[in-house]
Amino acid sequence: MAANHGYGPNKMSTREMKRRIFLGSGFALTLVPRAQAGLDVSQLEGVGKILADAAESGEVQSSALYVRQGTDVFSRSYGLAYETDAMFLLASISKTISVAAVLTLFDEGRFRLDDNVQRYLPEFQGEGRNKITIRQLMTHVSGLPDQLPENSHLRASHASLSEFVAAAVKTPLLFEPGTRYGYSSMAILLATEIARRISGRSIADLTQERIFKPLGMTRSAMGLGTFELSDFVMNQVDRAAPESGAGDPSTKSWDWNSPYWRKLGAPWGTAHGSAENVARFLQELLHPTGRILKSETITMMISNQNPPNLRPRGLGFDLGQIGGTTQLSDATFGHTGSTGTICWADPSTDSIAVILTTLPYRAVSPHPRDLVATRVAQLLRKS
């Protein structure tokens, strides 16, 4: 059984909260070596103060910042994330990890990207579904919706992933496949269902075996893995994404913090990980070692796969100005998450940034995540 590191929700006084904020940040300083010439530590400390102040005011209960350039690393945690290896709900960053796991089967020659989905999911029929390819699932041009119309009902009834799949293969398409870009969590679900049928392994097992274990991502899991719920940072749910209940007390049994959702292992949103582990994953794609994927497959993951008239997307990855962050090159790849997370790797500056928070992205504008992301990108561009 995993140790309880105390990242779960706690009730404490404002005075005690402030004391924990100070101790948590101080402990992070003792864990992480000082960066050398490549990163300006004093300026990054100033950027991190945005998160520290947000923690002290109670706006952001927990957050973590990890920046890497070359071999230089800056890592801090804030608020109730008492240690820099605290594990957060990654939300849609999960999609990048899920797709990478699926592509390990591509590397084995077990499917082709332009295979029709129907070849592996024979029940996926009608309304032009026979035209949809696996590549289109991974680049959000399939016509499938982001969330199912019956999403709330499924989550309230604690539906299994197989029940989500059964609904997704029948849900109406929003547009003719390949003609438009439409962000789709359900497309990623079906891509992982294809992998499950090919390999006989759940996406939770596949990510553990093919991604987390080879990369030494010991503070990560798709779902709970071998961890306990109390091992993870809990999210703020007020003003959360509509598909997660938006903070309505009646959705407590299936919101972001519920045992049901944390355990489900949904490939579109329930991966957990520390900021360092997310960076470790991005580092493998920035500088491939062959531990998870062939270099040519990684190149496809992080380069545009869509037609010129559609929004550029890699396989599972967004490209360019991730989350609207300026100062990033067109070669940048990364993703954002509705729980208040963002990560990217920019080959032009040989840099990686991971910002994890517990404040829902839709809760406030500008979100502290974006303020920090912009400042970090500016510093990296100047270094």
Which string of DSSP letters, residue by residue, matches 261-275? HHHH--TTT-EEE-H
**How confident is the model over 167-181, as a mean pLDDT?**
98
pLDDT at residue number 105: 98
pLDDT band, very low/low/confident/very high, at 324 (cuts 50, 70, 90): very high
Taken in order of first residue, the domains within the chain and their CATH numbers are 21-89+214-249+270-382 (3.40.710.10), 93-206 (3.40.710.10)
Look at residue 359 and tell me whether its pLDDT is greater than 50. Answer: yes
For the chain, the first-to-last Cα distance in angstroms comes to 43
pLDDT at residue number 223: 98
- How many Cβ atoms from other residues are within 10 Å of residue 219's Cβ? 23
pLDDT at residue number 135: 98
| Distance (Å, whole) CA 373 – CA 352 | 11
pTM listed for this prediction:
0.91
Percent of the chain scored above 70 by pLDDT?
Answer: 90
pLDDT at residue number 5: 37
**How confident is the model over 137-145, as a mean pLDDT?**
98
Task: Check if the beta carbon of residue 132 is closer than 8 Å to that of residue 161.
Answer: no
Cβ-proximal residues to 283 (8 Å cutoff; 6+ apart), any chain:
68, 345, 352
For residue 173 the two structure tokens come to 């398409």
Look at residue 13 and tell me whether its pLDDT is greater than 60. Answer: no
Mean pLDDT score across all residues of the chain = 92
pLDDT at residue number 38: 78
Give backbone dihedrals phi and psi of 341, rounded to 5 degrees, phi first.
Answer: -120, 155
Which residue type does 354 have? V
**How confident is the model over 225-235, as a mean pLDDT?**
97
pLDDT in tens, 32-90: 443 445 799 999 999 999 999 999 999 999 999 999 999 999 999 999 999 999 999 99
